Amino acid sequence: MNYERVFKKKKPFYLNDEQLAFVEQTIESMSLDDKIGQLFLPINFIEEEQPLREFVRKFQPGGALNRPAPGALNQNRHRIMQEESKIPMFIPANIESGGNGTAVGEPHLVIHYRLLQPEIQNKYAYELGKIAGKEGRAVGINYAFAPIIDIDYNTLNQLQIHVHLEMIRKLYMRWHLHISMD
């Protein structure tokens, strides 16, 4: 029995046979340089199309984080990167703030969970995940790169809401439940 193959069909991957065949064929066809490129996820500041295409062709990174910029610019960057990459790229953003993690200047409906009182955070953590996932996908994001579960013990911050570790875990689970759904 090929345990590696069985593993990829289970949590966290849940690959079906077609997806698993794609992964296996892709890995087999990769050069050493391609595999090394997959280890990197640089921050992209390139705005012009041709230099961005050349960068992706040369380095074949596993993904690239575009800093917040006007939505149309980052959507174009995402499209170019996916077109030039041999392997679908991870396109992350800090989407705990909805589309603001990648597309600035666009209208976004976001209530940051840290601003909510603990007794209502559980309900809205789920809704925030729903908003973040929908807005992120709308601009090409396929990877949440967010400090959603940071634990901040800054006692000098008077606006900080102190929450128990168990509350943080519960909020993250509610947020993640919806963000990972299509």
What does the pLDDT read at residue 59? Answer: 95
Do 82 and 62 meet the contact criterion of CB atoms below 8 Å apart? no
In the predicted structure, residue 85 carries a pLDDT above the cut 90: yes
In the predicted structure, residue 170 carries a pLDDT above the cut 60: yes
Sequential DSSP letters for 137-160 = HHTT--EE---TT-----TT-TTP
Do 87 and 64 meet the contact criterion of CB atoms below 8 Å apart? no
In the predicted structure, residue 154 carries a pLDDT above the cut 90: no
Q: With bands split at pLDDT 50, 70 and 90, how would you rate the model's confidence at 9?
A: confident
Q: Tell me, what DSSP letter sits at residue 93?
A: E
What does the pLDDT read at residue 168? Answer: 67
Sequential DSSP letters for 13-77 = T---HHHHHHHHHHHHH--HHHHHHTT--PEE---SHHHHHHHHHHH--SB-EEPSEEHHHHHHH
What does the pLDDT read at residue 134? Answer: 78
Q: With bands split at pLDDT 50, 70 and 90, how would you rate the model's confidence at 159?
A: very low
> Quick check: pTM over 0.95?
no
* Nearest C-alpha neighbor of 128 from the set 102, 166, 163, 100: 100
Encode pLDDT of 27-71 as tens digits. 899 999 999 999 999 999 899 999 999 999 999 999 998 887 888
Q: What are the tokens at 75?
A: 């959507």
φ/ψ (deg, to 5) at 149 = -115, 30
Q: Which of 107-111, 120-124, 137-141, 145-149 has the highest mean pLDDT?
A: 137-141
Q: What is the dihedral of CA 19, 22, 24, 27, to 10 degrees?
A: -130
Average pLDDT, the chain: 76
Encode pLDDT of 110-128 as tens digits. 555 555 555 556 667 777 7
In the predicted structure, residue 173 carries a pLDDT above the cut 60: yes
The helix or strand, by DSSP H or E, that contains position 104, with its residue range, turns out to be strand 103-104
Q: Between 1 and 34, where is the model more confident?
A: 34
Q: CA-to-CA distance for 1 and 22, rounded, in angstroms? A: 20
- Looking up tokens 């976004």, which residue turns up? 108
What does the pLDDT read at residue 129? Answer: 74
Q: CA-to-CA distance for 15 and 111, rounded, in angstroms? A: 34
